[in-house]
Structure 1
Amino acid sequence: MDPVTRGPAGTSDVVVVGGGAAGLSLANRLVGTGVATVTVVEPPDGPARPAERTWCYWDQGGDDLDEAVTATWPLLRVHGPDGSPLTVDPAPSRYRMVRSTAFERLVHARLEGAPGGRLLRATADTVRDVPGGAEVRCTTPGGRTLTLRSRYVFDSRPLPALPPARTQLLQHFRGWFVRTRAGRFDPAVADLMDFRVPQPRHGLAFGYVLPLAPDRALVEYTEFSRTPLTTPQYEAALGHYARAVLRLGEFTVDSAEQGVIPMTDARFPRRTGASVFRIGTAGGATRPATGYTFAAVQRHSRAIADALRDGRATVPRPHGRRALAMDAVLLRALDTGRIDGPAFFTGLFRRTPPQRLLRFLDGATSVREEWGIGLRTPVGPMLRTALEVPFLPRRTHPAPGTRESPP
């Protein structure tokens, strides 16, 4: 990748296609460091723009996203299948929530205030290589055609179909932002996985609770399985979780969110041309075994900015090969039913020091640490699966609409 250089008026060093978590995170990093001039192409208002979304990640705080953070939690909790709670303190890390509207407002303001920043509301029609860089052809809300030229294009739009995979599950969910009549939540504790819900015949299910105040929280029902539910099915599962498990008493639902995230060992193309790159879920940033994307997007954005600054040849991978190999084994073990999902994830939290576990989930542990974690999992089923996975064929799976959000 050649170092970026300033082009003529009306061009940018970089065009970012898509204004979701990945696109805006990269633009934020590039204008914040002054590495490149940036044009972000976002869909105009209308059906092409997604509804407000929630993104969560763990961080030690003090990053440049503090203004967009809605809430933080110093403690994490898991409820095992038997109902027993396990609370861990991952200090100095905290779990953080970012709402897409606040994130967009923050990055849009930074783009407006940066000499090399630009936000364009238009529909990106085509992206292709041209001599000396790449171009994006767009249609404005008024129907006018624009052609943007740049040294590089980073495209975050969803793929029309997922690449072939050996294993593909879906993380699908629906959440309610609830308001209770009495205080029912502890604002210091985020419930990451609550397995006190009926388990599906295939895959696993859990509740997810992010308190915003003693009487307000995001309450979600999530499944890892092959096919999504219907909205009435999610509503029934959420109602059971809120009333029978959490026993919230009288409450109202202020708003809802729903989504599907691919959990797949597919090989995502990071480069689709000499000067065109994929980022976000389309570029493989979603962690296959957990569905977490936002933290990986931040790391990947930093790595891309460093590569542009230093003139390195390629954009690095969002996740390391070793982490992806471990995820492929876990996905297969879950999909075949060789391991009990609720017991597996509860055991990870129960037997692994919190900071090490978070590093493991982020793909930042050493081989020695991973070996120690592996010995505390069902060794026989995992070993059998590890020996099987390299010989499995990759095949095409259905690709439902995807979006980034917490698991």
Structure 2
Amino acid sequence: MKRSDEVYDIAIIGGGLAGLQLLHALLSDDQLKNQKIILLEKEEKVENDKSWSFWEQGSGKWDDIVHKSWTFAEFNSNSFNKKYDLSPYKYKMIRSADFYAFIKKMLKDHPNVLWQKDQIKDVEIGNIQKCIGENSIYFAKKVFDSRLTDDFQNSEYPFVLQHFKGWFIESKKEVFDNSCFQMMDFRNEHRKDCAFTYVLPFSSTKALVEYTFFSPKLVKDIVYEQEIKNYINQHLKVKDYKVFETEAGVIPMSAHPFHLGNQENYMKIGTAGGWVKASSGYSFKNTSNKIEQLILNLKNNLPLDHQLFKKRFSFYDKVFLSVLQKENHLGAKLFEEMYSKNSIQSIFRFLDEKSNLMEELKIISRFSKAPFLRALWRVGL
């Protein structure tokens, strides 16, 4: 095995969402941008393998690569329907291929960064961290590691999986309102699972139609496809269309304390670090918020995960996940209660962990009490 004796200031393991957002933040900061950085990634990262969406007020740092944004959203269940004006927010969607290309273009101006194709198998932690790859060994003062293990599934902490498949379709007829996206549509139920359809229209004829589960167990691929077909036929009422692209994924939504594995110069990031918002599955904005705090910590010589996690929001997530894990059939009802009894703006603030205690108590008080009391008994105070 090859070995490089060069010691980097920072090694980032994984060129996914968290690794590349962190790299972007480091290179955008005047105090940190000249550090020697190595990014260790096993793939080329050129394909459009996923998309990310998030809400945001006004303009943002990713606007140059936003593929589409929406000013309205809709929620549907068998007993409730509402269209929301998101103002002052917009809901934005980024394609991963555009994100990867954006970061790679940025690297051309930073010779202090090396993008190294390798798969890291292990990290030995010491005064200098040793990253052991398939092809070589690398050394760094600090390591940010996005590799996910399955520890959360064997944990005492509640979890569900956000698993989904989406079709990018094009219809012969104009059927979509491209100013409004479907946030959650529970009208196509699958047995007693918490499952919904998510629709992002890009034009009057093109849209992403995705079927998503928040459930403890995965399903066969044919299940997603059949539910997508049913939704297109029954609710969109589109007969003549073609599928020009697909996406699929599995994202853990877990209350497991991933951050307990962090050390002075080693930190888990992304899904592996608990950066996915546990109760909603949103990762892009949550990752961005975590990285803003991480950059402050680096600049001020604070512990790497200082103030990255807010205890009361972690507790809310743990209780909500316990309900979804143990009483998954209640999912549609709970989300209906949330969206029917609160403004969309207050929901966004709550999920962004920007709300105050009074706002949080108002949202919590509008849920059915019994499932959450049972969850409180399970998780404890």
TM-score norm. by structure 2 comes to: 0.91
SS at match of 1:130: coil
Aligned to 1:394: none
Higher relative contact order (CA 8 A, sep 6+): 1
1:187 Cα deviation after fit:
0.9
Aligned to 2:110: 114
Aligned to 1:43: 42
Within the candidate set 133, 138, 147, 1:138 is matched to 133
What is the rounded CA distance, in whole Å, between the counterparts of 1:136 and 1:306 in structure 2? 25
What is the rounded CA distance, in whole Å, between the counterparts of 2:292 and 2:282 in structure 1? 17
SS at match of 2:108: helix
Q: In the superposition, relative to structure 1, how do residues 99 and 69 fare at CA in structure 2: closer, same or farther (>3 Å)?
A: same
1:383 corresponds to 2:373 = yes
Aligned to 1:67: 64
SS at match of 2:125: strand
What is the rounded CA distance, in whole Å, between the counterparts of 1:61 and 1:112 in structure 2? 29
Q: Structure 2, unaligned stretches of length 5 or more?
A: none
1:160 Cα deviation after fit:
4.4
- Contact 1:263 1:288 survives alignment (8 Å): yes
What is the rounded CA distance, in whole Å, between the counterparts of 2:347 and 2:243 in structure 1? 33
- Contact 1:136 1:149 survives alignment (8 Å): yes
SS at match of 1:340: helix
What is the rounded CA distance, in whole Å, between the counterparts of 1:232 and 1:339 in structure 2? 21
| The 10-residue stretch of structure 1 (285-294 or 113-122) with the greater mean CA deviation from structure 2 | 113-122
What is the rounded CA distance, in whole Å, between the counterparts of 1:372 and 1:18 in structure 2? 40
SS at match of 1:59: strand
Matches within 5 A, 1:6-405: 10-34=6-30, 35-36=32-33, 37=35, 38-45=37-44, 52-82=49-79, 84-131=80-127, 133-140=128-135, 145=136, 147-162=137-152, 164-201=155-192, 203-316=193-306, 318-337=308-327, 340-390=330-380
Q: Which amino acid aligns with 2:78?
A: P
| 1:211-230 residue CA offsets vs partner (Å, 9 max, x unmatched) | 11110011001112221111
Q: In the superposition, relative to structure 1, how do residues 50 and 166 fare at CA in structure 2: closer, same or farther (>3 Å)?
A: farther
- Contact 1:285 1:318 survives alignment (8 Å): no
What is the rounded CA distance, in whole Å, between the counterparts of 2:321 and 2:122 in structure 1? 34
| 1:124-173 residue CA offsets vs partner (Å, 9 max, x unmatched) | 23322232x32323344xxxx2x332221000122244250332222111
| The 10-residue stretch of structure 1 (178-187 or 334-343) with the greater mean CA deviation from structure 2 | 334-343
Q: In the superposition, relative to structure 1, how do residues 63 and 338 fare at CA in structure 2: closer, same or farther (>3 Å)?
A: closer
What is the rounded CA distance, in whole Å, between the counterparts of 1:121 and 1:175 in structure 2? 29
Q: Structure 1, unaligned stretches of length 5 or more?
A: 1-8, 392-407
1:249 Cα deviation after fit:
2.3
| 1:66-107 residue CA offsets vs partner (Å, 9 max, x unmatched) | 22211111111101223x421112212111111111101111
SS at match of 2:337: helix
What is the rounded CA distance, in whole Å, between the counterparts of 2:172 and 2:227 in structure 1? 21
1:314 Cα deviation after fit:
3.2
Q: Which amino acid aligns with 2:41?
A: E
- Contact 1:112 1:119 survives alignment (8 Å): no
| 1:245-296 residue CA offsets vs partner (Å, 9 max, x unmatched) | 2212211000111111112222213544441110000000112211111111
Q: Which amino acid aligns with 1:40?
A: L
SS at match of 1:269: helix
SS at match of 2:39: strand
- Contact 1:270 1:279 survives alignment (8 Å): no
- Contact 2:264 2:304 survives alignment (8 Å): no
What is the rounded CA distance, in whole Å, between the counterparts of 2:201 and 2:224 in structure 1? 20
1:10 Cα deviation after fit:
4.5
What is the rounded CA distance, in whole Å, between the counterparts of 1:50 and 1:316 in structure 2? 35
Aligned to 1:397: none
Q: Count matched residues.
A: 373
User: Taking every aligned residue pair, what percent have the same amino acid on both sides?
Assistant: 27
- Contact 1:164 1:267 survives alignment (8 Å): no
Q: In the superposition, relative to structure 1, how do residues 294 and 270 fare at CA in structure 2: closer, same or farther (>3 Å)?
A: farther
Q: Which amino acid aligns with 1:111?
A: L
Q: Which runs of 4+ in 1 moved over 6 A?
A: none
What is the rounded CA distance, in whole Å, between the counterparts of 1:110 and 1:384 in structure 2? 50
What is the rounded CA distance, in whole Å, between the counterparts of 1:207 and 1:359 in structure 2? 23
- Contact 1:287 1:319 survives alignment (8 Å): no
Q: In the superposition, relative to structure 1, how do residues 109 and 23 fare at CA in structure 2: closer, same or farther (>3 Å)?
A: same
